[in-house]
Chain A
Amino acid sequence: MLLTTKLKQTLLALGTAAAIGFTTLAQAADDTIKVGVLHSLSGTMAISETTLKDTMLMLIDEQNKKGGVLGKKLEAVVVDPASNWPLFAEKARDLIEKDKVAATFGCWTSVSRKSVLPVFEEKNSLLFYPVQYEGEESSKNVFYTGASPNQQAIPAVDYLMNELEVKRWVLAGTDYVYPRTTNKILEAYLKSKGVDEKDIMINYTPFGHSDWQSIVADIKKFGSDGKKTAVVSTINGDANVPFYKELGNQGISAEDIPVVAFSVGEEELSGIDTKPLVGHLAAWNYFMSVDTPENKEFIKKWQEFTKNPKRVTNDPMEAHLIGFNLWIKAVEKAGTTDTDKVAEAMVGLEVPNLTGGTAKMLPNHHITKPVFIGEIQEDGQFEVVSKTPEVAGDAWSDFLPDSKNIVADWTGKETGGTPCGNYNTETKKCSGQNF
């Protein structure tokens, strides 16, 4: 009897303590605006995504030092979807329903974005997606701050075609949606430029492919035809290192057959022996080596924040910076964090990027970006060999027969008055997200 009373007392005490704890928490939540950070911190994608989590923490920290936004402090809610695509959707739901975040910054792979998209649309919340992707999408609830194919792949091909006079093309990619769609667009683009079918070689490999001997030997044979050959690589992640190593070992230098990659950046280069990669190319919208005062300051802040004087910056980090600044500006303009009002305020806003230009949010929820082509140097940095002015991001590629008549406009100007992300200019109909 005595025991049970004692137990009851303890339980009661615990309960009260918990209740008090809860109310203080709730109060704290009222004083802050929550921002979701949805990046994998474990599993295969942790390599790339942990950096973006840290970037968001730095940006939020900095904004709080400036006094937050709308008189409130920002509070980061970090979750770990563990490189597991369905878990991305669950974590996104938690962020919106339980934590009531005002906006979420996250995702890396297209499949993770596709997995969370229905959640953000159903719950009407905002997602900022910072990575280059295959396009063919425009959602009311997503802002795409990474490059679409016309802001990365097509300018890179133009550079090879015009500056290096490449006549034969190898399109090599990892076997999943981004390389397949990008290569489809590139193939159509090359053919529209008069490149013959037999001068294009397309090759797909599994994730993490490490035995490149036969493929590199094929590329070598394909390139020994007398016409200048280049490889356009959408090879993802880990598979790149053995690929470049094999190229080097088989005696193919960047002068013979240059490789232009869309997934190799400073972060990826910092983890490998760069010797076999020197001279090969990459196309991005930002390079750490771009010499502007804004960039220098950003790099300094990043290295101080991570307490690592050798830490590198990369393109998706700049995309998050632009996305975050746009969101802050839109929230201030709208005077609220309400999804619809912020989304409306967002279109047309401009913020400076780190390479001396400005990023403008377009009605199709993509932004304007300059395109840089860089050559890999031994120190893992890029020497910029070509730069374009800002290019407007195109949600629906003009080079695919299925999407060339499709436009996205969330102000409704080009889509017959009603905002639409998938409007067919021929049939004058607005379809759902997918065809």
Chain B
Amino acid sequence: MMKHLLTLFLFSLLSITNAQATQENDVLPTILPLLQENTVASKQQAINTIATSSDPRKAAYLQALLAGELYLHPDGTLALITNNQALDAKTTEALQLPDTEFKKITTTNNLRSQLRKALEQLNMTDPDPKVRLQAATNLLSTITPEIAQYWRQLLGTETDSKVKAALQLGLDLADLNATEKSTRLQAIQLLAGNLAPEVRKRLQPLTTDSDPDIAQAAQRSLKQINDQIKLYSYAETLFFGLSLGSVLVLAAIGLAITFGVMGVINMAHGELMMLGAYTTYFIQQLLPNFIDYSLILAIPAAFIVSGLMGILIERTVIRHLYGRPLETLLATFGISLILQQLVRTVVSPQNVPVANPSWMSGSLEINSVLSLTYNRLYIVIFCLIVFTLLFMVLRKTNLGLQVRAVSQNRAMARAMGVRSARVDALTFGLGSGIAGVAGVALSQLTNVGPNLGQSYIIDSFMVVVFGGVGNLWGTLVAGLSLGVVNKLLEPWAGAVLAKILVLIFIILFIQKRPRGLFPQKGRAAGD
């Protein structure tokens, strides 16, 4: 209790001194006319004034400007507006002004990078080591002898090992331009194997240095770095391939059920994915404040929507056409056009915005040359989960048993008491539902619009046919390997040619092995 009181007392004392300081060092009167002028040059001057002032709230001002939360009222009130709440920028008291009158103070790239630099200088002494590390890393490119001097001081008092390393890196970089040769050589050696892009930038000109020793040392260090980068870039390509592959698998896996197991050529498969993507959009619209969670909710919802639509299509159209592949193809193609135009008329011909939840944005930095983007990473994982679940359903459940029985021998299955019509509808619904779930994943990668399905339908058929009709494992292996092959080809063939080469490869492969990678064996293969 005593302790609390003491803190409270100290705190109030602090705010009193703060208030006094504010009156003396208040930067607002100087910058207000500059902000009101509202040109790039005047704003630049305003930022400089704030950064060099000793106003205790200067970090807050810069932060707000950078985030675009600083608003100006015609009467000269500067406000922080976040989530529709207006606070006075100076006193942080709530404002009761009509917010329509406020005009946002806009920034451009040049202003933002100026703001960031100014803020990072302040952040070098931030209590949070993460913030300090970020600041040190971002300031590496601006290092000069004067700054190096300051960093040396900081290094003396720094406790966090990561921040220490970043500071040391900065000092080494500064040493590259030192006057003494031994210092330079030592710095070059210390920098060998460091993957930060700044290191490469600074070593590159040294490889042609007038001093042969320096040039040689720089070349050696640079080679060491480049060898490592090469290794990581292979890992990166592999990851890109797997992520493209998992998208292909997700798109194809529903089709592997409807086409592979039931033998229905479903051209509307892409549109079922589109419905799944639109479901994600509608759920986000319904829950605008829960963007981070709505995606999770969208998965079962999309499964139900697309699954029900699939059952509807099966009951009304496809069941009359079993055993007539050409008619099924035409009928489902018609359905796909109807669904597309339906969305165009009911929702809009424009694409709809689907937001990425915060946990799907950004990337996992393994080091400064290899980073895996979260959205792709999650989709690879998601793809494997969907695959496993589907596999379990087909292998371990009663429905799965009946599905396999009907697909292997319909007459026999019926004789054993399986209601084949019901199984057909459920199987088609399952395949369609999975397509809907794939649509949720696609909504995070690509545009959600009426044409979404069309761009994936060819790829889906390609994967299923390549993997071997009727084989889930085949679909997985085919999808992932096509993804990796595509990404291996892309760097030297270009995106357009890579796609063509993959198609040619599949055509040749199908000539040689018409039943795909993993052909069905036994009696089921007969029909």
Contacts and interface: CB of A to CB of B under 8 A. Distances in A.
A377 B67 CA distance: 12
Contact of B349 (A50, A217, A225, A273): A50
Given A42-B344, A213-B244, A272 B353 contact: yes
B451 A44 contact: yes
Contacts of B355: 273, 275
Interface string A136-166: 0000000000000000000000000000100
A249 B351 contact: no
Interface stretch (B83-91, B148-156, B235-243, B404-412): B235-243
A68 interface: no
B287 interface: no
Contacts of A42: 341, 344, 349
Contacts of A271: 350-353, 449
B371 interface: yes
A424 B355 CA distance: 53
Interface stretch (B14-22, B300-308, B491-499, B519-527): B491-499
Contacts of B197: 224
A297 interface: no
Contact of A241 (B446, B490, B495): B446
Nearest to A163: B110
A251 B487 contact: no
B511 to A, nearest CB: 25
Interface in A153-207: 164, 175, 203-206
B236 to A, nearest CB: 6
A250 B371 contact: yes
Contacts of A242: 445-447
Contact of A238 (B116, B344, B351): B351
A255 interface: yes
B131 to A, nearest CB: 17
Q: Chain B: interface residue count, which band?
A: 35 or more
A272 to B, nearest CB: 5
A249 B374 contact: yes
A75 B224 CA distance: 73
Contacts of B446: 210, 238, 241-242
A270 interface: yes
Interface string B444-470: 011101010001000000000000000
B376 A213 contact: yes
Interface string A242-254: 1001101111001
B119 to A, nearest CB: 13
A238 B447 contact: yes
Contact of A279 (B112, B236, B349, B447): B112
Contact of A250 (B247, B351, B373): B373
B373 A272 contact: no
B495 A249 contact: no
Interface residues of A, number: 46
* Secondary structure call for the B interface: helix
Nearest to A226: B201
Nearest to A274: B353
Nearest to B450: A46
B491 A214 contact: yes
A204 B363 CA distance: 25
A225 B198 CA distance: 9
A352 B363 CA distance: 48
A390 interface: no
B109 A218 contact: no
B108 A273 contact: no
Given A44-B451, A226-B204, A214 B487 contact: yes
Contacts of B350: 47, 270-271
Contacts of A215: 490, 495
A383 interface: yes
A209 B495 contact: yes
B397 interface: no
Interface in B412-451: 445-447, 449, 451
Contacts of B400: none
Interface in B210-247: 236-237, 240, 243-244, 247
A209 B447 CA distance: 10
A421 B489 CA distance: 44
Given A47-B449, A238-B351, A377 B496 contact: no
Nearest to A208: B455
A378 B68 contact: yes
A255 B116 CA distance: 10
B336 interface: no
B361 interface: yes
Contacts of A47: 349-351, 449
Given A47-B351, A224-B197, A238-B451, A245 B487 contact: no
B135 to A, nearest CB: 15
B363 A251 contact: yes
A269 B437 CA distance: 26
A377 B375 CA distance: 24
A17 interface: no
Question: Considering residues A203, A250, A272, which has the most beta carbons from chain B within 10 angstroms of its beta carbon?
Answer: A272
Contacts of A272: 351, 353, 447
Interface string B227-269: 0000000001100100110010000000000000000000000
Interface string A227-259: 000000000001001100110111100110010
A2 interface: no
Nearest to A383: B106
B40 interface: yes
B349 A249 contact: no
Interface string A371-389: 0000101100001010000
25 contacts: A203-B494, A205-B496, A206-B499, A209-B495, A211-B247, A215-B490, A215-B495, A217-B236, A217-B240, A218-B491, A224-B197, A225-B204, A238-B351, A238-B451, A242-B445, A246-B373, A248-B362, A249-B375, A250-B363, A251-B362, A270-B350, A272-B351, A273-B353, A375-B109, A385-B40
Interface of A: 42, 44, 46-47, 50, 164, 175, 203-206, 208-211, 213-215, 217-218, 224-226, 238, 241-242, 245-246, 248-251, 254-255, 258, 270-273, 275, 279, 375, 377-378, 383, 385
User: Shortest 3 CB-CB distances between A and B: which pairs?
Assistant: A226-B201, A210-B446, A249-B373
Interface of B: 40, 68, 106, 108-110, 112-113, 116, 197, 200-201, 204, 236-237, 240, 243-244, 247, 341, 344, 349-356, 361-363, 365, 371, 373-376, 445-447, 449, 451, 455, 487, 490-491, 494-496, 499
Given A44-B451, A226-B200, 12 more contacts: A205-B495, A206-B499, A213-B487, A215-B490, A226-B201, A238-B446, A245-B356, A245-B375, A249-B361, A251-B365, A254-B109, A279-B112
